């Protein structure tokens, strides 16, 4: 899932709200009207919340399954939102410019942090407490929050010690952590990186996903990862993790689908190991796959791991157990990578003609509800540009805005378009936040307070 690389940009956006409309479109978010775009037929398919694997009743990779009207226009904007996040387990979150978190979707273990436990929450609700946050990250059934004072808070399931506190449906402070700048939530484990370059891990270690040099057991309090010093970025999949240090990517944990890229897909690794790719500028991990960008001396892309929906961009559905060179994008420069269950997104700029006021996106993988933001078949096996799904620019006298932010979930996608938070895709636990449990193949508005 997308790690917390955006934290510095987010801090800038909050401090620059008054200038956002003038100097940058990257800091705007909120709610607004949207038009209906499709008609209704069929029923929603379901999938595993962490890998995207088909469940009973889901036919697996196929073309578009469902036509459901994307409904719901929101009232007048009351706040702006600068962060949106989609958790591994179907919980969705947004942070407003005041630092308050709103959550919706799966809540069977209290992972929304709203003070109650329920099967689902179909509309956004402010989380409990008055703590203000820079970022949030969702695992299977737990959620982490990076507070504005550099502390870490956690809520939801604690079956493997991933909260470092008793299970709670309200945010609780994790003891022993300060000056944290990045967080990442795996399936049942948690990571935090401090400003001093110290990486801490806690929770489930069945497959060595804590990176402590051992395999097995759990850790109920944050532990220092001594095998890797001074990483600059971190990411967590379902049962494995990665960190970028210099231009090298280090990975550890489970390797059942080749996600460690070491050629041995049945082995687990309890200590960080270096991926055999040099010159990495950026990376992203999904539940069981990895995708990296090497810009110099000529742009190259590598991918490995689970490829059940074509998310590796290899043109097929075959798993890769070693880093594999894949066809890149048409972008002259790349600004951000995102990954969800069965999907990979790349944001950048082509450089041809005047720059677009928002993100340019190419994506690959699962697209049965157009959650890749284009209309190519599902699975889409090669990166394709955003097209014919998200309305942007002017429609008559209405300024619809442009895509500013994106979060890739399990079979669904959240986005901020202009000043509107939108969602598309699966919705079995209310993760789209439009007040229904109906899947959408056209963007539906998320009406935030």
Question: What pLDDT was estimated at residue 71?
Answer: 52
Question: What pLDDT was estimated at residue 10?
Answer: 41
Q: How far apart are CA 302 and CA 436, in angstroms?
A: 38
Average pLDDT, the chain: 87
Average pLDDT over residues 371-400: 95
Question: What pLDDT was estimated at residue 200?
Answer: 98
The token pair at 160 is: 């493997």
The token pair at 408 is: 């890739």
Among the residue ranges 50-54, 179-183, 369-373, the one predicted with the least confidence is 50-54
Task: Please say if the pLDDT value at position 65 is more than 90.
Answer: no
Average pLDDT over residues 259-283: 95
Task: Please say if the pLDDT value at position 402 is more than 50.
Answer: yes
Task: Please say if the pLDDT value at position 436 is more than 50.
Answer: yes
Among the residue ranges 64-78, 261-275, 276-290, the one predicted with the least confidence is 64-78
Question: What pLDDT was estimated at residue 74?
Answer: 81
Q: How does residue 79 score in pLDDT terms, banded at 50, 70 and 90? A: confident
Q: What percent of the chain has pLDDT over 70?
A: 83
What separation in angstroms does the CA of 367 have from each of 161, 238, 331, 376?
35, 21, 22, 7
Greater confidence (45 vs 308) lies with 308
Among the residue ranges 8-17, 191-200, 210-219, 264-273, the one predicted with the least confidence is 8-17
| Domain spans of the chain, in order of start | 7-445
Question: What pLDDT was estimated at residue 64?
Answer: 62
Q: Is 139 exposed, middle or buried (0-12, 13-18, 19+ CB in 10 A)?
A: buried
Judged by DSSP in three states, 122 sits in: strand
User: What is the length of the chain?
Assistant: 449
Question: What pLDDT was estimated at residue 261?
Answer: 97
What separation in angstroms does the CA of 342 have from each of 14, 85, 232, 305, 371?
32, 17, 26, 11, 11
How many C-beta atoms surround the C-beta of residue 355 within 10 A? 10
Dihedral sign from CA coordinates of 29, 6, 424, 437: negative
Average pLDDT over residues 158-187: 98
The token pair at 42 is: 């069929």
Report the run of H or E that residue 58 belongs to, with start and end: none
Task: Please say if the pLDDT value at position 38 is more than 70.
Answer: no
Report the run of H or E that residue 323 belongs to, with start and end: strand 320-326
Question: What pLDDT was estimated at residue 235?
Answer: 98
Judged by DSSP in three states, 19 sits in: helix
Q: How far apart are CA 417 and CA 447, in angstroms?
A: 13
Average pLDDT over residues 130-154: 98
Q: How does residue 70 score in pLDDT terms, banded at 50, 70 and 90? A: low
Average pLDDT over residues 223-248: 97
Q: Please give the span between the terminal C-alpha atoms of the chain, in angstroms, as a whole number.
A: 26
Query: How many CA atoms lie within 13 Å of 54's alpha carbon, on the beta-carbon side?
Result: 14
Contact 143, 87 (CB under 8 A): yes
The token pair at 256 is: 């059942």
For the beta sheet containing 300-305, the strands, ordered from the edge strand earlier in sequence to the opposite edge, are: 282-285, 289-294, 300-305, 320-326
Q: How far apart are CA 153 and CA 132, in angstroms?
A: 10
Task: Please say if the pLDDT value at position 68 is more than 70.
Answer: no
Which residue is it, tokens 């006021």? 357
Question: What pLDDT was estimated at residue 399?
Answer: 87
Q: How far apart are CA 157 and CA 127, in angstroms?
A: 16
Radius of gyration of the chain (CA): 20
How many C-beta atoms surround the C-beta of residue 348 within 10 A? 20
Greatest alpha-carbon pair distance for the chain in Å reads 61
Greater confidence (250 vs 49) lies with 250
Judged by DSSP in three states, 23 sits in: helix
Q: How far apart are CA 159 and CA 57, in angstroms?
A: 29
Q: Is the pTM of this model over 0.85?
A: yes
Which residue is it, tokens 């958790």? 87
Greater confidence (444 vs 1) lies with 444
Greater confidence (425 vs 3) lies with 425
Q: How far apart are CA 136 and CA 105, in angstroms?
A: 15
Average pLDDT over residues 398-409: 94
Question: What pLDDT was estimated at residue 141?
Answer: 98
Question: By C-alpha distance, which of 409, 422, 429 is closest to 71?
Answer: 422
Q: How does residue 72 score in pLDDT terms, banded at 50, 70 and 90? A: low
Query: Cβ contacts of residue 376 below 8 Å, gap of 6+?
Result: 367, 384
Question: By C-alpha distance, which of 93, 71, 97 is closest to 156?
Answer: 93
Q: How does residue 40 score in pLDDT terms, banded at 50, 70 and 90? A: very low
Domain 7-445 indexed as CATH 2.130.10.30: yes
Question: What pLDDT was estimated at residue 30?
Answer: 34
What separation in angstroms does the CA of 266 have from each of 188, 207, 263, 323, 441?
20, 11, 9, 16, 37
The token pair at 151 is: 């502390």
Task: Please say if the pLDDT value at position 182 is more than 90.
Answer: yes
């Amino acid at each position: 899932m997308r790690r917390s690389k955006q934290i510095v940009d987010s801090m800038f956006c909050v401090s620059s709200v008054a200038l956002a409309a003038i100097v940058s479109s990257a800091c705007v978010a909120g709610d607004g009207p949207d038009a209906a775009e499709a008609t209704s037929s069929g029923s929603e398919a379901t999938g595993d919340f962490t890998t995207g694997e088909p469940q009973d009743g889901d036919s697996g990779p196929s073309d578009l399954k469902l036509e459901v009207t994307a409904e719901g226009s929101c009232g007048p904007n009351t706040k702006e939102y600068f962060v949106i996040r989609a958790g591994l387990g179907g919980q969705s979150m947004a942070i407003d410019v005041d630092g308050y978190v709103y959550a919706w979707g799966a809540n069977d273990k209290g992972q929304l942090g709203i003070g109650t436990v329920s099967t689902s929450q179909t509309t956004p609700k402010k989380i409990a407490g008055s703590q203000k946050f820079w970022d949030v990250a969702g695992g299977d059934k737990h959620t982490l929050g990076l507070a504005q004072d550099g502390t870490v808070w956690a809520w939801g399931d604690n079956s493997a010690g991933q909260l470092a506190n008793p299970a709670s449906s309200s945010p609780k402070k994790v003891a022993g952590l300060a000056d944290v700048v990045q967080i990442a939530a795996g399936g049942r484990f948690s990571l935090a990186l401090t400003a001093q370059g110290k990486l801490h891990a806690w929770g489930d270690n069945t497959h060595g996903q804590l990176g402590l040099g051992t395999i097995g057991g759990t850790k109920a309090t944050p532990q220092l990862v001594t095998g890797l010093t001074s990483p600059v970025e971190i990411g967590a999949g379902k049962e494995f993790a990665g960190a970028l240090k210099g231009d090298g990517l280090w990975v550890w944990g489970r390797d059942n689908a080749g996600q460690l890229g070491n050629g041995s897909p049945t082995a687990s690794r309890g200590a960080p190991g270096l991926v055999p790719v040099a010159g990495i500028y950026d990376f992203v991990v999904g539940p069981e796959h990895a995708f990296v960008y090497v810009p110099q001396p000529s742009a190259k892309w590598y991918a490995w791991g689970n490829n059940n929906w074509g998310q590796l961009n290899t043109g097929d559905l075959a798993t890769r157990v070693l880093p594999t060179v894949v066809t890149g994008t048409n972008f002259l420069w790349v600004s951000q990578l995102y990954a969800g269950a069965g999907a990979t997104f790349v944001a950048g700029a082509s450089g041809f003609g005047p720059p677009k006021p928002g993100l340019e996106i190419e994506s690959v993988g699962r697209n049965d509800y157009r959650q890749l933001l284009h209309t190519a078949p599902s699975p889409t096996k090669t990166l394709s540009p955003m097209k014919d799904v998200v309305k942007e620019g002017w429609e008559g006298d209405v300024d619809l805005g442009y895509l500013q932010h994106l979060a890739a979930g399990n079979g669904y996608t959240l986005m901020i378009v202009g000043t509107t938070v939108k969602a598309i895709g699966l919705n079995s636990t209310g993760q789209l936040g439009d007040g229904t449990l109906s899947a959408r193949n056209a963007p539906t508005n998320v009406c935030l307070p």
